[in-house]
């Protein structure tokens, strides 16, 4: 039984096989320039000793590491973890490993306040010589990104392919995949109107974040277009998690005049928090207030009531992101354009299943 306590090198295999390192290299790289006899013998010895070449040494000459960097703001957020799953699945199929970097930026923070500066990760990842970088959320999602951040992005983008699932930033050496952030909002509003609701609020999300801004704009615009009287006191922002939804909704419920008959939440976590706040006030969903959400989480199907929400098609977005990155790495400049239409999922939280007309 061979000693596998330490990794063997190509030189030791050469020694054991009685051939040169060049020949071993040829065998492990499936070069045609080896005789069948030699190849068989060497393969045998390789298997017996469980040898596999050091990817480190390989990377030294080949200049690629078969490693990708994925920078994400909060992996505990179902939106990101679902994206990640799809990304990793595809990457592993193609032989890539993923260095995951959680920045905690704008995340739930879980009791800890200090986010890790994304620049720190940029450097870390660059030093590891990854073949490409994928950025999901974080500073890039702000309406206005800082010069320092942009400069860091630029520097990174000059060295390796950087794909960003987010809205384009001018003069940035990165590939942007623009999502359809506000798609589905009009459908959501029409759904609520059809049920009789007219006093529609907006709950959750954070000021200055792209997703929030885009949806908020779509929301106000749609209402305006329909000639619905609209009051900014029905908007209550905070953040993207259940506690935020609770807090934001509780604020709306403080005064009768700001209490809506329906709300649109940023995502299912926010919606769940909002529903709790409504229940704690002794009101009921959907009887007193209809609740809709913009971003479907797996849990939304099991809340009470089940959430009417938008499916943002995360798997599709994840797959497009990783495909774009790998194409960029392989210089297949064949641009990928993404087009996804968030799909309305009608369940119970707006009251459609009751088949009645609600009060306005």
Partner DNA sequence: CATAATTTTGGTACCGATACCAAAATGACA
Partner DNA sequence: TGTCATTTTGGTATCGGTACCAAAATTATG
Q: Is 158 in the site for a second copy (CB under 8 A)?
A: yes
For residues 344 and 191, the answer to whether their CB atoms sit within 8 Å is yes
Comparison of 12 and 129: residue with beta carbon closer to a second copy: 129
- Side-chain half-sphere CA neighbours of 4 within 13 A: 9
Comparison of 46 and 152: residue with beta carbon closer to DNA: 46
User: Binding residue for a second copy (CB under 8 A) from 76, 178, 233, 330?
Assistant: 76
Q: Which does 29 bind (CB under 5 to 8 A by kind): a second copy, DNA, none?
A: DNA
User: Binding residue for a second copy (CB under 8 A) from 22, 31, 97, 357?
Assistant: 97
At CA 180, angle to CA 234 and CA 205, rounded to 5?
A: 35
Q: How far apart are CA 180 and CA 240, in angstroms?
A: 18
* Binding string, residues 266-305; x marks residues near a second copy by CB under 8 A: ---x--xx-xx--x------------------xx-xxxx-
Q: Is 6 in the site for a second copy (CB under 8 A)?
A: yes
Q: Which does 152 bind (CB under 5 to 8 A by kind): DNA, a second copy, none?
A: none
Q: Is 137 in the site for a second copy (CB under 8 A)?
A: no
Residue 15 in tokens: 């020694």
Hey, is 27 helix, strand or coil? helix
* Binding string, residues 14-43; x marks residues near DNA by CB under 7 A: ----xxxxxx-xx-xx--xxxxxxxx----
Q: Is 159 in the site for a second copy (CB under 8 A)?
A: yes
Minimum Å gap between C-beta 43 and DNA is 12
Q: Which does 21 bind (CB under 5 to 8 A by kind): a second copy, DNA, none?
A: DNA
Q: Is 62 in the site for DNA (CB under 7 A)?
A: yes
Size of the site for a second copy (CB under 8 A): 66
Residue 344 in tokens: 């309305």
Minimum Å gap between C-beta 57 and DNA is 3
Q: How far apart are CA 215 and CA 184, in angstroms?
A: 9
Q: Is 82 in the site for a second copy (CB under 8 A)?
A: yes
Q: Is 57 in the site for a second copy (CB under 8 A)?
A: yes
Residue 190 in tokens: 């029409």
Q: How far apart are the first and last CA of the chain?
A: 79
Q: How far apart are CA 138 and CA 158, in angstroms?
A: 20
Q: Which residue stretches of the chain are H helix?
A: 10-17, 21-28, 36-48, 55-62, 78-93, 118-127, 147-159, 185-194, 210-225, 242-253, 268-280, 314-329
Q: Is 61 in the site for DNA (CB under 7 A)?
A: yes
Q: Is 65 in the site for a second copy (CB under 8 A)?
A: yes
* Binding string, residues 236-255; x marks residues near DNA by CB under 7 A: --------------------
Enumerate long-range contacts of 79-85, CB under 8 Å, 24 or more apart. 79/267, 79/295, 79/297, 79/312, 79/314, 80/136, 80/137, 82/314, 82/315, 82/318, 83/136, 83/165, 83/314, 83/317, 83/318, 83/321, 84/136, 84/318, 85/318
Q: How far apart are CA 311 and CA 177, in angstroms?
A: 18
CB-based contacts of 60, cutoff 8 Å, min separation 6 = none
Q: Which does 110 bind (CB under 5 to 8 A by kind): DNA, a second copy, none?
A: a second copy
Comparison of 49 and 142: residue with beta carbon closer to DNA: 49
Q: Is 187 in the site for a second copy (CB under 8 A)?
A: no
Q: Which residues bind DNA (CB under 7 A)?
A: 7-11, 18-23, 25-26, 28-29, 32-39, 53-54, 56-58, 60-62
């Amino acid at each position: 039984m061979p000693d596998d306590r330490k990794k063997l090198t190509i030189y030791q295999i050469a020694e054991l096989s009685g051939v040169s390192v060049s020949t071993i290299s040829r065998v492990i790289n499936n070069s045609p320039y080896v005789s069948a006899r030699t190849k068989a013998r060497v393969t045998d010895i390789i298997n017996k000793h469980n040898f596999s070449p050091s990817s480190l040494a390989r990377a030294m000459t080949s200049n690629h590491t078969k490693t990708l960097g994925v920078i994400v703001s909060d992996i505990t957020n179902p939106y990101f973890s679902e994206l990640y799953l799809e990304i990793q699945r595809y990457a592993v199929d193609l032989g890539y490993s993923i260095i995951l970097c959680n920045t905690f930026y704008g995340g739930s923070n879980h009791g800890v306040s200090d986010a890790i500066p994304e620049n720190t990760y940029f450097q870390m990842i660059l030093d590891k010589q990854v073949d490409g970088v994928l950025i999901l959320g974080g500073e890039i999602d702000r309406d206005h990104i800082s010069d320092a951040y942009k400069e860091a992005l630029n520097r990174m983008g000059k060295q390796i392919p950087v794909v960003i699932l987010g809205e384009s930033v001018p003069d940035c050496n990165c590939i942007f995949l623009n999502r359809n952030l506000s798609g589905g909002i009009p459908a959501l509003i029409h759904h609520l109107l059809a049920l009789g609701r007219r006093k529609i609020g907006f709950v959750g999300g954070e000021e200055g974040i792209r997703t929030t801004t885009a949806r908020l704009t779509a929301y106000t615009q749609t209402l305006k277009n329909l000639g619905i009287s609209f009051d900014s006191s029905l908007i209550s922002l905070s953040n993207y998690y259940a506690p935020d939804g609770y807090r934001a909704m509780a604020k709306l419920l403080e005064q009768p005049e700001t209490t809506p008959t329906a709300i649109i939440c940023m995502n299912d976590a926010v919606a769940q928090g909002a529903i709790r706040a409504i229940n704690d006030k002794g009101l009921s969903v959907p009887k007193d207030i209809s609740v809709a959400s913009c971003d479907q989480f797996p849990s939304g199907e099991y809340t009470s009531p089940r959430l009417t929400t938008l499916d943002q098609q995360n798997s599709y977005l994840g797959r497009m992101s990783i495909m774009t990155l790998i194409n960029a790495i392989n210089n297949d400049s064949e641009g990928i354009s993404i087009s996804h239409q968030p799909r309305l999922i009608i369940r119970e939280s707006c009251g459609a299943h009751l088949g009645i007309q609600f009060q306005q």
